[in-house]
Amino acid sequence: MGKKNILILGAGFGGLTVFSRLLHTLKNRDEFRITLIDEQNFFLFSPLLHEVAVGVLLPENIVTPIRKLFRSGIHRFIQAHVEKVNLVKQEIITSAGIFNYDYIVLALGGVTDMSDMVNIIDNSNVFVLKTAQDAMTIKNHIMEMFEKASIETDPEIVKQLLTFVISGGGYTGVELAASLSDVAYNYLTTSYPQIDPKNIKIIVLESADRIIRDLPIKYSHYVMTHLHNHRIDVLLNTKVTQIENNQIEISGGDVISSRTLVYVPGILANPVISESNAEKDDMGRAFVNDYMEVMSFASAYAVGDCAHYEDTISREVARPRAHNAVRQAKIVAKNLIADLLGKSKVRYKYSDAAEIISLGRSNALLRVQKLWIHGILAVFIWVASYSLLAIGGKNRLKIAADWILSRIFGPDTSIIRPECYNLQTDLEHDASPIVKSD
C-alpha cells in the first residue's frame, strides 16, 4: 500500500495550526505524507495589517517564512496557487500541478467582498486590506498623499489629497481609522510642517445604522464616540455609489473629494471554495458538521474563514476570526489523527469568550466573557497579547520594539514601491522537489 496523502490548503491561522499539530504527532510516521500548500511562502499575522498600513509596524515583522517554522522531511511545504478543488475526484489543481489526496483540509481563508463595487468603474484609488502587499500599498499611498499635499498650492487639491475615506465600519475599518488618526495628527503633522492639520479628514462610511454590528449597542456607541473624539467622521447608512475623477459619490448623492478609498466591507469565502463541489452558504463557505468535516465528504475538513460552522444548540455561526480558525484547526488535527490511527473523533464546541479591538495608541476595547475593559489597560493587554500571539520569538520582539519605537520616533514614512519590496527574500532553504502525486 502507498503512503496516505494528506493535503492542507492554506498556511494561515487554520492551515498552519493543523500542519504543526499533525507534524508533532506523525513526524516519524513515513506511511503518511502531509503536504501544506500556500501561494505565499510565509504566514501572515493579519490582525496587525492596519498597523503596517499606517507605517507603525514593518511588514516583515508580521510575516514568518514557513520554512523557518518547519524543516522539510517526509512532510513538505509547496508554494503554489490552488486553482480548483474537486472533492468528488479527491484531486486539486494547482500552479505546481495536479495532486490527489486521501484527506484534505480546506483552509484558504476569505476574500474581500467586492460585490458592491462591481459597477464602480474608476477604482484607481480604491484599496483593500487583506495581504501584506495591500498594507504596503496603502502605506505608500498615504505617505504619497502627504508628500504631494506638502507642496501643493491649490487649497482644494490639498484637502482632496488629505481626505481619507474608509468604506466599512467593521473591526478592520474602525481599527484602521483609529490608527490613521493617531499617526496623521500626532506624527505626520510634525514630519510635514507645511500641512495644516485642519485639512486632514478621515471619514468612515458604514452601510448599517451602527458601527461594528457584532458589538452590543452600548459598546458600538462607545467606539463611535471614541472615533468622533479623534476627529474621525462616521457616516452611517451610507455606501459608495460612484467614483469619478477623485469624486466619491455616496448614498443620497453627496460627493466627497478624495484620492483614497480603503474598501474594507465583509468577506466572502475564497473562490476556490465557493466554486468547489462542497455544499456552501451564501458567502461561499463550505458547511461543516460538529467534527469540522465538510458535509457529504468525510475525507475533507474545512476551517476558519472558508468554513460555515453552526452550533447545534445555540444556532450561533462561528465568526470569521483568527482565534476561531485556530480552535477549529486543533479539532481538525485531532480528528485527522483519529482517521489515520483509527481513534475516536472529537466534536468542536463554539465559544466566543473574548475579543479585543484596537482604537489607536491610547485606547482599546476588550471583552473577556461578559467583562468589558477599555482605556490604557486594554491597550497594554492588546499589545502584549498580539505580540505574544505572533509566530516566532524574533517577530514578537520586533513587533514590541516597533510599537515602542514608533511611539517615540513616529511611524515609517518612507515610500518603497511594492514591486521593489520582495517579502520572499527571507526564504532560507530551497523548496523540496515537487512530487505531484503518489
Residue 132 or 203: the one with the smaller Cβ distance to ligand FAD is: 132
Residues 157, 317, 322, 400: which binds ligand FAD (CB under 6 A)? 322
Least distance CB 241 / ligand FAD (angstroms): 24
Can residue 360 be called a binding residue for ligand FAD (CB under 6 A)?
A: no
Cell (9 digits) for 252: 443620497
Residue 23 or 82: the one with the smaller Cβ distance to ligand FAD is: 82
- Under 8 Å between Cβ of 87 and 294: yes
- Under 8 Å between Cβ of 235 and 206: yes
Alpha helix stretches (DSSP H) within 92-168: 132-151, 155-161
Residue 68 or 130: the one with the smaller Cβ distance to ligand FAD is: 130
- Under 8 Å between Cβ of 139 and 336: no
Residue from 326, 283, 335, 262 nearest 104 by CA: 335
CA distance linking residue 284 with residue 50, whole number of Å? 26
CA distance linking residue 386 with residue 401, whole number of Å? 13
Residue 111 or 340: the one with the smaller Cβ distance to ligand FAD is: 111
Contacting ligand FAD within 140-169 (CB under 6 A):
none
Contacting ligand FAD within 170-229 (CB under 6 A):
171-172
Residues 26, 107, 256, 365: which binds ligand FAD (CB under 6 A)? 107
Can residue 113 be called a binding residue for ligand FAD (CB under 6 A)?
A: no
Q: Which stretch binds ligand FAD (CB under 6 A): 107-115, 209-217, 285-293, 392-400?
A: 107-115
* End-to-end Cα, the chain, rounded Å: 11
Contacting ligand FAD within 272-291 (CB under 6 A):
272
Can residue 39 be called a binding residue for ligand FAD (CB under 6 A)?
A: yes
Can residue 304 be called a binding residue for ligand FAD (CB under 6 A)?
A: yes
The sign one gets for the Cα dihedral 96, 97, 102, 103 is positive
Residue 13 or 127: the one with the smaller Cβ distance to ligand FAD is: 13
Residue 42 burial class via C-beta count within 10 angstroms: exposed 0-12, middle 13-18, buried 19 and up: buried
Residue from 168, 162, 123 nearest 143 by CA: 162
Can residue 387 be called a binding residue for ligand FAD (CB under 6 A)?
A: no
Residues 10, 55, 170, 360: which binds ligand FAD (CB under 6 A)? 10
CA distance linking residue 262 with residue 116, whole number of Å? 14
Interface ranges with ligand FAD (CB under 6 A): 10-15, 37-40, 46-47, 49-50, 81-82, 107-109, 129-130, 171-172, 270, 272, 304-306, 320-323, 325
